[in-house]
Homo-oligomer: A and B are copies of this chain.
Amino acid sequence: MPVGTQATVKAMTPGDLRAAGAQIILGNTYHLNLRPTAERIDRLGGLHRFMAWDGPILTDSGGFQVFSLADLRRVDDDGVTFTSHIDGSAHRLTPERAMEIQGLLGSDIAMAFDQLVDPSLPRDEVAEAMERTHRWARRSLAARARPEQAVFGIVQGGVDPDLRRRSASAIAGEDFDGIAIGGLSVGESKAEMAATLDVLADALVDDPRPRYLMGVGSPVDFFTAVERGIDLFDCVLPTRVARTGQVWTADGRLNLRNARFLDEAVPIDAGCECEACRNHTRAYLAHLFRARELLAYRLASVHNVTWTLDLLRQLRSSLADGSFGVLRARVEDAFGRVPVVGERPGV
């Protein structure tokens, strides 16, 4: 899912997203409720109509952003009080309010409100947040705002195998439409992420519901996760790195701000069918980035989103035709075995 934090996947139109092959996008409860507010989006006909995207939308619950606020929030068992990063005003999120907001936004999939913690905290703190996440999960389900809206629960528990098993069992025991894995890609090592996904693959082995790994990933991360049963991802990386001049290609990551690209009269990736690769050269993009032209951010974003969704299409076919390992080796050769850390939409 490309991430449309503020009701737009940055620099891209809905038409660009369709052309890139996007089937579903993500919207952020925290940002949209602060501006333009969930009530306003509801009055304007819901998030689909507001942003003119007629495909499915998943909304997060706001939990991730609120817990990123660090000193600007206070947690109690009922919910979280926090300070807006826009104007310093005070706000409150509870499981009930998070579900109400997502009902007003009218997303197709709503996420339960969860408590994320740094996995390197002491075990009892990670366990306490996990237990609270389970109580909030039940309250979120009970507060489902629209019968037609799917609701996904979120497994927490840091990188502790025992906590993860307990959390998977608690969340899978509820009547959710899908199971999300939260609390990863937040600073743990790649090995810890893979080990945690192994634990969850075992714990959920008989569960038929879709599994969503939140905030992942980079090209290499997709293989680690799909191999362990993950079906769905969201990540701001493709658009965020694009705006800094980094583009993803069959040959790995290129930084278009590098002087050598100023004279390369070839597409970013000759195998890519995006608007940037069909019409423009690396030399032109390199010029646009140096001149700080808006078109640079747009074309690089269109490329990275198209390229990423194409990689995932290839990954899906590779599962069917048995070429997963070959494809993975190719991507690991290009991007390296220790990729950049996946990021989730920050505040």
Separation in Å of the A52 CB from the closest CB of chain B?
5
8 Å CB contact of A283 from B10, B50, B293: B50
- Let me know if B10 and A294 touch, CB within 8 A: yes
- Let me know if B10 and A291 touch, CB within 8 A: no
Band of interface residues on A: 35 or more
**Is residue A327 within 8 Å, beta carbon to beta carbon, of the partner chain?**
no
Q: How far, in whole Å, are A72 and B265 apart by their CA atoms in the complex?
A: 34
- Let me know if A11 and B50 touch, CB within 8 A: no
Given A45-B265, A262-B36, A298-B294: A51 and B284 within 8 A (CB)? yes
Pick the interface stretch among A125-133, A195-203, A229-237, A274-282: A274-282
The residues in A between 18 and 56 inclusive whose CB is less than 8 angstroms from any CB of B are 35-36, 40, 43-45, 50-52
Q: How far, in whole Å, are A13 and B275 apart by their CA atoms in the complex?
A: 9
Please give, as numbers and ranges, the residues of chain B lying within 8 Å of A291 by CB-CB distance: 6, 8, 35
Q: How far, in whole Å, are A316 and B93 apart by their CA atoms in the complex?
A: 58
Chain B residue with the shortest CB-CB distance to A7: B287
The residues in A between 263 and 298 inclusive whose CB is less than 8 angstroms from any CB of B are 263, 265, 275, 279-281, 283-284, 287-288, 290-291, 293-295, 297-298
Chain B residue with the shortest CB-CB distance to A265: B44
- Let me know if A284 and B10 touch, CB within 8 A: no
Given A45-B265, A262-B40: A7 and B284 within 8 A (CB)? yes
Please give, as numbers and ranges, the residues of chain B lying within 8 Å of A293 by CB-CB distance: 6, 8, 10
**Is residue A187 within 8 Å, beta carbon to beta carbon, of the partner chain?**
no
Separation in Å of the A345 CB from the closest CB of chain B?
13
Please give, as numbers and ranges, the residues of chain B lying within 8 Å of A288 by CB-CB distance: 6-8
Chain B residue with the shortest CB-CB distance to A286: B36
Q: How far, in whole Å, are A335 and B167 apart by their CA atoms in the complex?
A: 63
Encode contact with B along A75-104: 1 for CB under 8 Å, 0 otherwise: 000000000000000000000000000000
Identical chains in the assembly? 2
Please give, as numbers and ranges, the residues of chain B lying within 8 Å of A262 by CB-CB distance: 36, 40
Please give, as numbers and ranges, the residues of chain B lying within 8 Å of A10 by CB-CB distance: 293-295
**Is residue A250 within 8 Å, beta carbon to beta carbon, of the partner chain?**
no
**Is residue A15 within 8 Å, beta carbon to beta carbon, of the partner chain?**
yes
Q: How far, in whole Å, are A30 and B168 apart by their CA atoms in the complex?
A: 63
- Let me know if A287 and B15 touch, CB within 8 A: no
**Is residue A14 within 8 Å, beta carbon to beta carbon, of the partner chain?**
yes
Q: How far, in whole Å, are A258 and B295 apart by their CA atoms in the complex?
A: 26
Please give, as numbers and ranges, the residues of chain B lying within 8 Å of A43 by CB-CB distance: 263
- Let me know if B14 and A283 touch, CB within 8 A: no
- Let me know if B295 and A297 touch, CB within 8 A: no
Query: What are the 9 tightest A-B residue pairs by CB atom distance, in nearest-first order?
Result: A11-B294, A6-B291, A36-B287, A8-B295, A52-B279, A8-B293, A44-B265, A44-B283, A294-B297
Assuming A35-B291, A36-B262, A44-B283, what are 14 further A-B pairs, CB within 8 angstroms? A6-B287, A6-B293, A10-B294, A11-B294, A11-B298, A13-B279, A13-B299, A36-B287, A40-B262, A40-B263, A51-B284, A52-B279, A52-B280, A298-B298
Mind listing 22 A-B residue pairs with CB under 8 Å?
Answer: A6-B291, A7-B284, A7-B287, A8-B293, A8-B295, A11-B294, A11-B295, A12-B295, A13-B295, A13-B298, A14-B279, A35-B290, A35-B291, A36-B287, A36-B290, A44-B283, A45-B265, A50-B281, A51-B284, A52-B284, A294-B297, A294-B298
